[in-house]
């Protein structure tokens, strides 16, 4: 298994600003992902964070809006840029361990944009 | 594109009632299947998984799920629910295994004491 921490746990931001969310894992993992969970909805994959190369974004998500860094095998950041109220959501970091093929999730960052 | 469908948006049961939550997926090849649970105020946890072998898998807290390949289904069951089972339940699919994990819409379960 993997233990994942995220910072901040929640934030209230003004529209037009940016927020960077950090994800730290207690072990080295090959695959890290970022998801969004909008109020009352399911989880949507934003991107796969690749170590040492650019992230792979899903349809509807672009690097300019959600830049991602992955400097090593235990850490990643997601930035939500030029925020609008529609970005209010829970952002979740997830990792897949090679040993059991299961994906584990962090506690999430609850973002409210005013 | 691959998709996952959960039949029920909100289920309300009394304690000791039996539970079955439906999940269907659209991918035609080999899949890995999961049920996750999110208790109020907590983060997403794995309830059970199916990779291969016996299509009836058992998870934590008395939950089980049955993979029926011909029906593209992976329904979650529990013979007798408890108030502490109140949570949101998500079905998720990796198809092909190792690919993207796609989630269903989620089912909110409310158990009345």
Give the per-residue pLDDT at A99: 66
* Contact state of B102 with A106 under an 8 Å Cβ cutoff: no
Residues of A whose CB is below 8 A from B90:
42-43
CA-nearest residue to B108 within chain A is A40
List C-alpha distances in Å: A62 to A67, B51, B64: 8, 32, 38
Q: Is the pLDDT of residue B96 over 80?
A: no
Give the per-residue pLDDT at B6: 95
* Contact state of A42 with B105 under an 8 Å Cβ cutoff: yes
Residues of B whose CB is below 8 A from A45:
100-102
* Contact state of B51 with A101 under an 8 Å Cβ cutoff: yes
What is the DSSP-derived secondary structure letter of residue B60?
Answer: G
Q: Is the pLDDT of residue B108 over 90?
A: yes
pLDDT truncated to tens, each residue of chain A (114 aa)?
Answer: 789 999 999 999 999 999 999 999 999 988 899 999 988 788 999 999 988 888 999 999 999 999 999 999 999 999 999 999 999 999 999 999 876 778 999 999 999 999
Interface A-B, measured as beta-carbon pairs within 8 A, has a size of 40
Question: Per-residue pLDDT averaged across B55-75, rounded?
Answer: 96
Q: How confident is the model at residue B104 (pLDDT cuts 50, 70, 90)?
A: very high
Percent of chain B whose predicted confidence (pLDDT) is above 70: 99
Residues of A whose CB is below 8 A from B97:
101
Residues of A whose CB is below 8 A from B44:
43, 92, 105
Q: Contact A114/A12 with Cβ under 8 angstroms?
A: yes
Collect all residues with Cβ–Cβ distance below 8 Å to B47 and sequence separation of at least 6: B34, B35, B36, B37, B59, B60, B61, B63, B76, B89
Give the per-residue pLDDT at B98: 75
Q: Is the pLDDT of residue B1 over 70?
A: no
Q: What distance in Å separates the CA atoms of residue A76 and residue B75, rounded to the nearest whole number? A: 34
Probe site for chain B from A10, A43, A90, A99 (most B CB atoms < 10 A): A43
Q: How confident is the model at residue B30 (pLDDT cuts 50, 70, 90)?
A: confident
Q: How confident is the model at residue B61 (pLDDT cuts 50, 70, 90)?
A: very high
Give the per-residue pLDDT at B62: 96
Residue listed under structure tokens 């007798």: B80
* Contact state of B102 with A104 under an 8 Å Cβ cutoff: no
Give the per-residue pLDDT at B95: 79
**Cis (ω within 30 of 0) for the bond into B96?**
yes
């Amino acid at each position: 298994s993997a233990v994942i921490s995220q910072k901040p746990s929640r934030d209230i931001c003004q529209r037009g600003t940016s927020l960077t969310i950090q994800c730290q894992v207690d072990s080295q993992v090959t695959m890290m992902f970022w998801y969004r969970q909008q109020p009352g909805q399911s989880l949507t994959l934003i991107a796969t964070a690749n170590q040492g190369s650019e992230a792979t974004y899903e349809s509807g998500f672009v690097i300019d809006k959600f830049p991602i860094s992955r400097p090593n095998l235990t850490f990643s950041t997601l930035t939500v840029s030029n925020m609008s109220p529609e970005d209010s959501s829970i952002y979740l970091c997830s990792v897949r361990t090679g040993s059991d093929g299961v994906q584990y999730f962090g506690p999430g960052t609850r973002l409210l944009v005013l | 594109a691959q998709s996952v469908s959960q039949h029920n948006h909100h289920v309300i049961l009394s304690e000791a009632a039996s539970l079955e939550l439906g999940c269907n997926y659209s991918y035609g090849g080999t899949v890995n299947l999961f049920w996750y649970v999110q208790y109020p105020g907590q983060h997403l946890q794995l309830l059970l998984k199916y990779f291969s072998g016996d299509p009836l898998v058992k998870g934590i807290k008395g939950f089980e799920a049955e993979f029926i390949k011909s029906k593209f289904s992976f329904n979650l069951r529990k013979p007798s629910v408890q108030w502490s089972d109140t949570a949101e339940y998500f079905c998720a699919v990796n198809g092909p295994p190792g690919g993207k994990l796609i989630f269903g819409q989620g089912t909110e379960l409310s158990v009345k004491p």
